Amino acid sequence: MDLIQNLALGFGVVFQFVDLKIGFLGISIPFPMNIFLCFVGAMVGTLIGVLPGIGPLATIAMLLPITFGLPPVGALIMLAGIYYGAQYGGSTTSILINIPGESSSVVTALDGHQMAKQGRAGPALAIAAIGSFIAGCFSTVLVAALGAPLTSLALLFGPAEYFSLMVLGLVFAVVLARGSILKAIAMILFGLLLSTVGSDIETGQSRMAFDIPELADGIGFVTVAMGVFGYAEIMRNLEQTESRDIVQSKVTGLMPTWPDFKVAAPAIGRGTILGSILGILPGGGAVIAAFAAYTFEKKMSKTPERFGHGAIEGVAAPESANNAAAQTSFIPLLTLGIPPNAVMALMVGAMTIHGIVPGPQVMTKQPDLFWGLIASMWVGNLMLVVINLPLVGLWVRLLRVPYRMLFPAILIFCAIGVYSINNAPADAIMVATFGLVGYWFVKHDFEPAPMLLGFVLGPLMEENLRRAMLIARGDPTTFVTRPISGGLLFLAALLLVLAVMPMIRSKRDEVFVEGEA
Amino acid sequence: MSEAGGAGVARHDAGGLPHHHRVASIFFVLALAGPVLGVIFGKPPEFYARLASGAYSLPLAVLGIAALILPLRSPKDFMGGALLVGMGLFALWACSDLPGMRGFAFGPGTAPRMFAYAMIFLGVAVSAVGLFTDGPPEEPFAFSGPLGGGLLVAVLIPITYYSNRIGHIVSGVSPDIMVAAVGAIVVLGLAFPLMRVAPRGPLFITAATLIFAVTVRPLGLVFASFVSLVVSAYATEEIRWVETLIWAAVLTLFCSLLFPWGLNLPLQLWPRF
């Protein structure tokens, strides 16, 4: 079995020991570096998930510079840990104090907090953790199984197909995002435009750099992400006055009862499958998966009136779904090289900085990285279950840290981190500028996530577009006449038309403010 | 600008102008700014060529006319779209020197121009949505926040440009320390009066980062992080000085252990004299 062999390789990478030199003692000791990084990532992720007002996007952007010194496998393992760790942490605060630390656990709060109020916080936390773990196991296997076939498919693609695939991915991201479609497309274009700043790929001519040396290399990916997510988030959070009244319900009796299990098990199964599918789709991800799973579970239930009053399915389904989606969204990234959502766009940035071009060749050329990352997800999920449940009390106590102490820490981390990449003070100035731009966008109901996708895919899209046009000797119909490319573009157009239909019919643009379903 | 009119209602501000007249006049000023700047700073020797080099901003006048004759029913959409149009036009101007198509091969300027035109088109569409559908009013600080912060960033441009002269104002002081001090003082000196019109958050988050940026090279990591942490405390209304100073010291210590030693990054800790 190839799959088992590959997974064995992956686990080998995860449990690898490296010699850690301790400088002042002059000795070196064997140290399980990757396990340690996986642990650090999962813990930091949980911490971030617990604290409201700082999401996984901002955290990964903030910690990117720190991972530059690590080997690529370790860096990616840690960053992935932050992402799925955040899905866990968010559920804890949702259930205990009705404050979703993450947008993906907003729905968990509905029933989870009701359970806590009824004195069943323990079972709610346990079922969230168990559901997440089962979903994590399933999606790890799914990533491993789908990796090889999708990769071989991707190898058939030429530049025209790649370009069309990216168009389809971006269209998916637009259609599945909340808010106005026009605005989302506009944000993608803004990202694409930003990505063209700097030297031209083919001629090396400086574009829109105004002879500023720091711009000659293009705008840094970390700069944009930190500014638009980290800084803009702080600026907005500071406007809201804090109201964190911590009514801590005592957590007693962690284990769910047998009837709980019987109700929750099918919900976990459905949530896992739904989450896995939505995670693979571009534009999907943990948030939409959680919402969809909750709605689906409510529709399936024979007693929908129990939802919102402490139904255990209402915790099990979205929690499994968001964790499954968090992991399966690695599939398009690792096989096709196309990030399906903004967090994966950050992963692309991390990979590029380590000199890895995301895409089908990762699996063949760097199997240790590919399978190591997959195996680490399973290990990380196990760690989260084992470590998190006993630590619930500690996480809740962390919530007492006031925001006025939190934001300076985030700020200085971002500032030093971005400065340390190139030792360029101009980078820190640009982060602040992008923070202001992001603040403007949020104030005008523009989602910044599509912009980051556009920014990451920009250079790739331009390169493939130019190459395809050159191969077709300047004939733009090549994108439609090549069967695979044409099919992908047709699908993209169809999706857009379907999504825009209600706009034609209704006179209000508020139709798109869905997602709360 | 922060108190924008409600949906479809022409509100009057202190000057007596209906709100959308004021918006329109801003667009007219911006539209004219391009040619004027082109004449002043443009490269070509002939007057008309310089005037034309700044003509990229003129289409903004169309938005101004639209705002003049139609009520802004959804100001968020209208202003958001307008910014996209503005940035698209700016990008067109910025890549006007780049060659386009060469035969059937793309030139360096082809793709950026394509993206810019598409963005302008979408910006117009979003603005049109703002004119013809009802929407929520502008949020508070939607303009004063970015403008106030932007002003702080902009003030660094002349300081960088004239850094050679500024560095030698006082003899005996190292020039780069002088520039850093002037930069930090100007940013702070501007941020405090701006606090009356702009929200604290964007203002002092920006100010703290800028002060870090100008001081970190000449004065070292310890000084730069401590000062910018203290400045960042102004970003909220609840300031507790003792707590801030202790917390800033703790964070500074943590960062100066983590980054240079823990992560082996080549950062300078102390000022160079």
Which has more pLDDT, A334 or A247? A334
Helices and strands, counts by H and E, chain A: 22, 4
| Any domain includes B7 | no
Distance of alpha carbon A429 from alpha carbon B172, whole angstroms: 29
Pair B86, B151 in one domain? no
For A3-53, write each residue's pLDDT tens digit: 777 778 888 887 877 776 666 666 677 778 888 888 888 888 888 777 766
B205 compared with A262, residue with greater pLDDT: B205
Note the pLDDT of residue A264. Answer: 82
On whether both B114 and B201 belong to a single domain, the answer is no
| A15 in Cβ contact with A31 (< 8 Å) | no
In a domain, B138, yes or no: no
Is residue B4 assigned to a domain?
no
The CA–CA distances, whole Å, from A367 to A353, A364, A487 equal 19, 6, 31
Average pLDDT over residues A264-274: 88
Residue of chain A nearest B214, judged by CA positions: A425
Residue A168 has pLDDT above 50, yes or no: yes
Residues B80, B171 within the same domain:
no
Which residues in chain A are contacts of B264 at CB distance < 8 A? 69
- How much is the pLDDT for A15? 80
pLDDT on residue B24 = 80
A193 against A17, higher pLDDT: A193
Please check whether residues B128 and B66 belong to one and the same domain: yes
How do residues A367-406 score in pLDDT, each as one tens digit?
888 888 888 888 888 888 887 777 777 777 777 777 788 8
Distance from CA of A196 to the nearest CA of B (A): 6
Contact residues, A window 404-433, toward B, CB-based 8 Å cutoff: 404-405, 407-409, 411-416, 419-420, 423, 425-426, 428-429, 431-433
DSSP string over B188-230:
HHHHHHHTTTS-HHHHHHHHHHHHHHHHHHHHHHHHHHHHHHH
Nearest CA of chain B to the CA of A443: how many Å? 6
| Interval A76-133: pLDDT, tens | 888 888 887 887 777 777 777 776 666 677 778 788 888 877 777 788 888 888 888 8
- Would B197 be classed as within a structural domain? yes
The answer to whether B142 contacts A405, with C-beta atoms less than 8 Å apart, is no
Give me the pLDDT at residue A281, please: 76
Cα–Cα distance measured from residue B29 to residue B6, given in angstroms and rounded to the nearest whole number: 24
> Which residues does A137 contact at the CB level (< 8 Å), separation at least 6?
A378, A381
* Residue of higher predicted confidence among B168 and A268: A268
> What own/partner pairs with CB < 8 Å and gap ≥ 24 does A505-514 have?
A507/B133, A508/B133, A508/B134, A509/A180, A509/B74, A509/B77, A509/B129, A509/B133, A509/B135, A510/B135, A512/A178, A512/A179, A512/A180, A512/A181, A513/A178, A513/A179, A514/A178
**Number of domains observed in the structure of chain B:** 2
Domain extent, residue B171, equals: 144-262
User: Using the beta-carbon criterion (under 8 Å), do A445 and B80 form an inter-chain contact?
Assistant: yes
Residues B113, B171, single domain; the answer is: no
Residue B2 located in a structural domain: no
Residue B139 has pLDDT above 70, yes or no: yes
Q: What is the pLDDT of residue B10?
A: 43
Whether residue A517 has pLDDT greater than 60: no
Distance between CA A512 and CA A94 in Å, rounded? 26
Residue A506: its pLDDT value, please?
A: 45
Q: CB-CB: which of A69, A412, A431 is closest to B251?
A: A412
| CA atoms of A318 and A289, how far apart (whole Å) | 7
Mean pLDDT of A198-219: 79
**Residues B158, B110 share a domain:** no
The minimal CB distance from A462 to the residues B111, B209, B252 is found for B111
Q: How far is the alpha carbon of A388 from chain B, nearest alpha carbon, in Å?
A: 26
Helices (H), B42-95: 47-53, 60-69, 75-94
Instruction: Give how far A215 is from chain B: nearest CA, Å.
Output: 13
Average pLDDT (B255-273) is 76
Asked if pLDDT for residue B209 goes beyond 90, the answer is yes
Do B70 and B179 belong to one domain? Answer: no
Residue A512, pLDDT score:
31
Q: How confident is the model at residue A514 (pLDDT cuts 50, 70, 90)?
A: very low
Residues in B touching A460 (Cβ below 8 Å) = none
Q: Are residues B162 and B226 in the same domain?
A: yes
Whether B192 maps to a domain, the answer reads: yes
B148/B126 Cα distance (integer angstroms): 25
Q: Which of B104, B134, B208 sits opposite A469 (nearest CB)?
A: B104
Distance from CA of B15 to the nearest CA of A (A): 26
Give the pLDDT score at B229: 92
Predicted confidence at residue A515, as pLDDT, reads 33
* Same domain for B126 and B211: no
Looking at the structure, tell me whether residues B151 and B256 fall in a common domain.
Answer: yes
The predicted pLDDT at position B1 comes to: 36
Tell me if chain B has a CB within 8 Å of the CB of A250: no
Q: Which of A354, A69, A83, A346 has the alpha carbon at shortest distance from A223?
A: A346
The residue in chain B having the minimum alpha-carbon distance to the alpha carbon of residue A424 is B213
pLDDT-above-70 percentage for chain A: 90
| Spatial contact of B212 and A428, defined as CB atoms under 8 Å apart | yes
Q: What is the pLDDT of residue B228?
A: 92
Q: Is A149 left (phi over 0), alpha (psi -120 to 50) or beta?
A: alpha
Q: How far is A448 from chain B (nearest CA, A)?
A: 13
* DSSP-assigned beta bridge partners for residue A21: A28
For residue A425, list chain B residues with Cβ-Cβ distance below 8 A. Answer: 213-214, 216-217
| Entry pTM | 0.83
User: Is the pLDDT at A202 greater than 90, yes or no?
Assistant: no
Q: How many beta-carbon contacts under 8 Å exist across A and B? A: 223
Determine the pLDDT at residue A192. 92
Residue B70 confidence (pLDDT): 80
Residue B214 lies in a domain: yes
Based on the fold, state whether residues B153 and B60 are members of the same structural domain: no
Using the predicted structure, report yes or no on whether residue A308 has a pLDDT greater than 80: no
Interval A405-463: pLDDT, tens: 888 888 898 888 888 888 888 889 999 999 999 999 888 888 888 888 888 888 888 88
Whether B199 is in a domain gets the answer: yes
Do B76 and B50 belong to one domain?
A: yes
For all residues of chain A together, what is the average pLDDT?
80
